[in-house]
Each structure stands twice: as C-alpha cells, then as structure tokens.
Amino acid sequence: MTRVLSCIQPTGDVHLGNYLGALRNWVSGQDKADVFHGIVDLHALTVTEKSDIIGANTLQLAAMLFAVGLNPDVATVFVQSHIAEHSQLGWIMECTVSFGELSRMTQFKDKSAKREAEFVSAGLFTYPALQAADILLYDANEVPVGDDQRQHIEITRDIAIRFNHRFGDTFVIPKAVTPTSGARVMDLQNPTAKMSKSVDDDSGVIYLLDDPSKIEKKFKRAVTDSETDVVFDRERKPGVANLLEILSAATNTTPQKTAENYTRYGDLKSASAEAVIAMLAPIQKRYHDLLSDRAELMRLIHKGNERAQAVASVTLARAQKSIGFLSSK
C-alpha cells in the first residue's frame, strides 16, 4: 500500500480553511493509503522562544486531529519530538545537504526576513534537513503538499538521491503530490486572500473551536459587495463566492447548485453560519471530550508513536549501517 506522510506544525488554532482545505481530506484518505500524520513540534521550536506553549499546542492539535475523524486504529498520528529518530536522522541530513542548497530555500528567505528584528535560529536555516528526515524515516512514497512546500520536497529528493549515491541504496525517493483538492476557503473579511492564522486581524477567520454566536457574528460581518445577486463568480464576486464555497462544502454540494437556492446575501450568510455551526458541533464535542480525558488522549498518541517508531527505528538503523558508523553493539 502506498505510504503517505503529511505533517502539521502545532502553531496556532486550526481554522475552517485548514479543515475544509486539508484535514477533511486526511480523514477521507485514511482508508485509501497507509497514512502517517506527524505533529511536528521540533519544527515549531524554530520560531518558539517561550516555555509551555509547544506542549499544550501539541496536545490540543492531537485532540483536534482525532476529533475531526482520524481513526487511531487506521491512521498513524505521532508527535515528532517523541521519536528521537527524527533528531538523529536530522543531523545526518544536515551533513547530506549543502549550505548553498539551504541558502536557496525561499521559505528560509521569507521567514528570516520577516523576523528581521527577532532571533533567527540556525534551526530555521536547517529546517529542510529535519523535514527530509521526517519524510525519509517513514519510507514515504507520497507527500501531499501545497505549492509553498514543493521546494522542501524537492530538496528531500535531492538529499535522498545523494545519500543513496554516497552510501548505497537506503532511502525510498518520495514524491510531492497535489492534495485532493478540498474547498478553497478565503478570509471572510478579505475574500481574495486565503483564510490564514497568520494575519493581524482574525475577524474573518473561523476557528474550529469558535462558539456558535462567534461564528454567526463573523458570517454576518463577512465582506460581500454592493450588488445583490447571488452567483458563483470568484473573479467578480469573491466574497459571495467564498460564502457559497463554504456553505456547499459544509453541505456536500457544489457552489453553483447552492447559489440557485439564494436570492439575498443576508440569507446566504445566515445559512452559511448555520451549516458551519452544525458541521462543527460534533467535532467540538469530541474535541472537548478527548481533552477532558487526558489519559485516553495520551493512550491514542502513544499508539501512533509506537507504530511510527517501529518504522523510524528500522530506517535510521539502515542509514547508520549504510554510512558504516561503528556499531554500539
């Protein structure tokens, strides 16, 4: 069976764009492939300097991944820092990638420029080496990523090919795949920009844990336009199109069909709010149930960790053997 790996950083709250655009597909994908989902807290450390944040975010994100429907009996959900092999192979990857290659990564250039007045860790620079370790440890065939991550998969392939060439065939060469496209959810206040947690004003962002009144309010204030007809036209009417996209995703139909049922923006907004509230209610309930039983949540995490480690330890040992490190045994 094809092994698929996708990872998510425990930074910030999960929003509707994450859910309808990606997480929902993770759930439907879990029965079609052997899926591994890492919560990559070591990567979050590249931009975290305060204590007690990463751990709490990791636990909450794990609860959310199970709450949206990842089945711990099927999907392998693991915490990156719990599996020491990531750090161990990460170093080997750092020695297999060049300074020049890392210097060309656009994400590093962007992120370090944005942090101009802040601490820019060496980890932010070597981040792709750790990501390569994440991927290669699991012999992943496919890594579904958006455009912003393609360069990281390319460099992972280059590293794997170089390693195999230097030390003998060791790693499966992964490929980037375009994720099954979910809904494209835009910011309700700025419907030409993707819904994102990294905005200053998040009044156009629906978080999965928002309560019904908050969701209603955000939809009520959603930006539309000065016309009045409800049609699905992303170019001309991005605000209305976004509402139609969200409502149709929440009710499993198409934006075009949904448009036929509405003549007024106000009705479209309240219907969207209602559908999203109904869609999120069972997720929120499962989330809170999971978080209120920490022992059970930790049991689920350990279960994933165990499966992940069983694979990772074999791959790391294979890499160490290929290099020809002196065996400790």
Q: Which residues bind ligand TRP (CB under 6 A)?
A: 5-7, 9, 40, 43, 131, 134-135, 143, 145, 149, 152
Burial class (CB in 10 A: 0-12, 13-18, 19+), 211: exposed
Nearest distance in Å: CB 152, ligand TRP: 6
Spatial separation of the C-alpha atoms in residues 164 and 40, rounded to whole Å: 25
3-state secondary structure of 162: helix
Q: Which of 109, 111, 217, 218 is catalytic?
A: 111
CB nearer to ligand TRP: pick between 145 and 173:
145
Nearest distance in Å: CB 173, ligand TRP: 14
Q: Which of 32, 114, 197, 329 is catalytic?
A: 197
How many CB atoms are located within 10 Å of the residue 327 CB?
Answer: 8
Amino acid, single-letter form, for residue 258:
T
Nearest distance in Å: CB 7, ligand TRP: 4
Question: How far, in Å, are 136, 184, 241, 270 from residue 245 at the CA level?
Answer: 36, 7, 6, 14
Nearest distance in Å: CB 1, ligand TRP: 18
Q: Which of 194, 217, 218, 329 is catalytic?
A: 194
CB nearer to ligand TRP: pick between 5 and 276:
5
CB nearer to ligand TRP: pick between 124 and 279:
124
CB nearer to ligand TRP: pick between 135 and 240:
135
Residue 197 is a catalytic residue: yes
CB nearer to ligand TRP: pick between 42 and 277:
42
* E strand residue ranges, 145-289: 175-177
Of 295, 288, 216, the closest CA to residue 66 belongs to 288
Sheet holding 3-8, edge to edge: 76-79, 34-39, 3-8, 142-144, 175-177
Q: Which residue lies nearest ligand TRP, judged by its C-beta?
A: 7
SS (H, E, C) 258-309: HHHCCCCHHHHHHHHHHHHHHHHHHHHHHHHHHHHCHHHHHHHHHHHHHHHH
Residue 269 is a catalytic residue: no
3-state secondary structure of 328: coil
Residue 218 is a catalytic residue: no
Catalytic center residues: 111, 194, 197
